[in-house]
Amino acid sequence: MSDLITFEHPLSERVRNFLRLEHLFSRFYTTRDQQSAWAHHAALGTLFEIMDCAARAELKLDILQELERQRQQISQSEREQYDATPEQEALYQATQNLQEVQQKFGQHLRENEWLMGVKQRMLVSGGTSPFDLPSYHYWLQLPHEQRLADLNCWIRSLTPTSEAISLLLRILRRNSYSLNCCAVLGNYQNAKLGNNIHMLVVDVAQSCQTLPEISANKYFTHIRFTQATQESPRGKQLEENIPFTLKMCSFDPITDKP
């Protein structure tokens, strides 16, 4: 199949949070690296979303626990599938970088009254217009290099979190097993996904113009393919056979394959 669209479905709250933050960090870095003032406006708005998304106190502990678990697994492995040494070093460095951040996630941003003022105005429709927030209008008119330096300063203490999540999700996506499947009349069911699966991934051809609705737990998985539409939140179920690839991803090496 060509022109595939990938849909990832997390099976735990931990992975769900990791994927959301990965998405937000990716959006931040993409808009930060553009030169226009409106791109930097979008980057700053995304920075505020990252703050809110990562405000949960357990996030740092979740990341550190998974980093340590991965380090232990590599130490106990027979190193048959990959060279463990670079990965161990990457896990160790990610742990060190994250532990060196002593303050609460985004605390330096919360202590910046100007930033918090902009954040509040962004919640109001049109609230950052020049006459509502002249100091922000002034910032947007600064040279690109100066705005970029500010954005880099504000994101700096959050970077270890971004790097650690990227590393863990890279491991999760690598530890995967694929099945070539067919949803008969738009429906697919599977009761043999194996143990300790933390994420499901569906690759389907863009030409199928469909969206997978995934319901899954450790006992049973149901995928229902619906019509992709921008006219309603939920399209009609397709009544045709849909070929797709189903990937099962785990933080642990998959040994119990269906």
Whether 90 is covered by a domain: the verdict is yes
Question: Measured between alpha carbons, how far is 51 from 104 in angstroms, rounded to an integer?
Answer: 11
Look at residues 54, 64, 57 and name the one whose alpha carbon lies nearest to residue 155.
54
Whether 5 is covered by a domain: the verdict is no
Q: Which of 168, 188, 218 is the last residue of a domain?
A: 168
Please indicate, yes or no, whether residues 22 and 122 belong to a single structural domain of this protein.
Answer: yes
The model carries a pTM of 0.90
Whether 94 is covered by a domain: the verdict is yes
pLDDT, one tens digit per residue, over 45-57 is: 999 999 999 887 7
Residue 68: CATH number of its domain? 1.10.3900.10
Please indicate, yes or no, whether residues 31 and 153 belong to a single structural domain of this protein.
Answer: yes
Whether 258 is covered by a domain: the verdict is no
- HSE-CB at 134 with a 13 A cutoff on CA atoms is 1
Residue 66's pLDDT band (boundaries 50, 70, 90)?
very high
What one-character DSSP code corresponds to residue 216?
A: E
Q: Residue 1: what pLDDT?
A: 45
DSSP structure string for 13-42: HHHHHHHHHHHHHHHHHHHHTS-SHHHHHH
Whether 257 is covered by a domain: the verdict is no
Please indicate, yes or no, whether residues 29 and 124 belong to a single structural domain of this protein.
Answer: yes
Whether 70 is covered by a domain: the verdict is yes
Question: Measured between alpha carbons, how far is 24 from 162 in angstroms, rounded to an integer?
Answer: 10
Strand order in the sheet with 210-216: 187-190, 221-227, 210-216
Q: Structural domain tally of the chain?
A: 2
What one-character DSSP code corresponds to residue 184?
A: B
Please indicate, yes or no, whether residues 37 and 105 belong to a single structural domain of this protein.
Answer: yes
What one-character DSSP code corresponds to residue 194?
A: -
Per the structure, the complete domain to which residue 189 belongs is given by 176-250
What's the residue count for the chain? 258
Q: Which of 168, 186, 221 is the last residue of a domain?
A: 168
Residue 225: CATH number of its domain? 2.60.440.10
Helix (H) or strand (E) holding 221: strand 221-227
Give the residue carrying structure tokens 């921008």: 230
pLDDT, one tens digit per residue, over 169-214 is: 999 999 999 999 999 999 999 887 767 889 999 999 999 999 999 9
- Taking phi first (over 0 means left), then psi (-120 to 50 degrees means alpha), and beta for anything else, what does residue 236 get? beta
The stretch 11-24 carries a mean pLDDT of 95
Please indicate, yes or no, whether residues 202 and 94 belong to a single structural domain of this protein.
Answer: no
Please indicate, yes or no, whether residues 73 and 130 belong to a single structural domain of this protein.
Answer: yes
Whether 231 is covered by a domain: the verdict is yes
Whether 235 is covered by a domain: the verdict is yes
Please indicate, yes or no, whether residues 145 and 234 belong to a single structural domain of this protein.
Answer: no
Q: Which of 133, 168, 203 is the last residue of a domain?
A: 168
